[in-house]
Amino acid sequence: MERNFKLLIAYDGGHFHGWQHQPNLDTVQGTLEQSARRVLRHQVDLIGSGRTDAGVHAAGQVANVFTTSTMQATSVRHAMGSRLPKTISLREVVEVSRAFNARRSALSKLYRYRIHSRSARPVVRLQQQCCYHFWHPLDVERMRAGAAHFIGEMDFSAMASAGCVRETMVRTVLRCDIVRHYDEVVIDVEGRGFLYNQVRNMVGTLIEVGRGRWEPERVGDILASRQRSEGGPTAPARGLCLQWVRYPAELLTPERAEGDDEE
């Protein structure tokens, strides 16, 4: 019987050309599939929860793969993990319902953006590859006021990169929290789905508010315009990390086989 494995993955995006397959380039999806083929001994099609761009990191990316292998999930994790580069960690492999789809079944996901807000570079803490160095002071309270305009279901065309065309540009942002921890400003964005570069463009817009160039109310005007040219610059990829993806609990356990009765 075909089984469905859910993979929980972390990776350093700075070493890859994004998640999705690209000819003759190192991608996270391609690297994982190569390892899975060697372990499961058949062709695989890895389904990811989303396509992170080149340079974007993940602490909790989720994927699933169907297999006819009889290997236990823990054995698959160990065998695949031993064949992966040090820039990818296969945190967990579990068998789930065959109805589970890492992309379509997702209820929400959270992206975290880290900004090192100080004149000195973050090299002192060896964090230069996982945060954006912005040397101007940032007013977190102003940024929070601007972020409030992002909450809800609305057209996010102004926060999508130019050329992004989808059936609908409407997306739902559940929260946009901003905190400061010493020299670091952290922006957490949870949503049901995102447009191409949406979070990085949201961050770039909030930075313009935080540095005092724009008033917080302008964020609402930018969204209403539906014009990408009205928003702030796209924040660099290295500061962004996919933290986790949430799914319905009933899909996270495998179906019981016929005749496998409870005692």
- 3-class secondary-structure state, position 138: coil
Of 113, 111, 127, the residue nearest 205 (C-alpha): 113
Are 185 and 135 in contact by the 8 Å Cβ rule? The answer is no
What DSSP string describes 30-91?
HHHHHHHHHHHSS---PEES--PPTT-EEEEEEEEEEE-----HHHHHHHHHTTS-TTEEEE
Determine the distance from the C-alpha atom of residue 206 to the mean position of all C-alpha atoms in its chain, rounded to a whole number.
Answer: 19
In terms of Cα–Cα distance, which of 87, 44, 34 is closest to 64?
44
* Catalytic sites, residue numbers: 53
Query: Do you know the residue count of the chain?
Result: 263
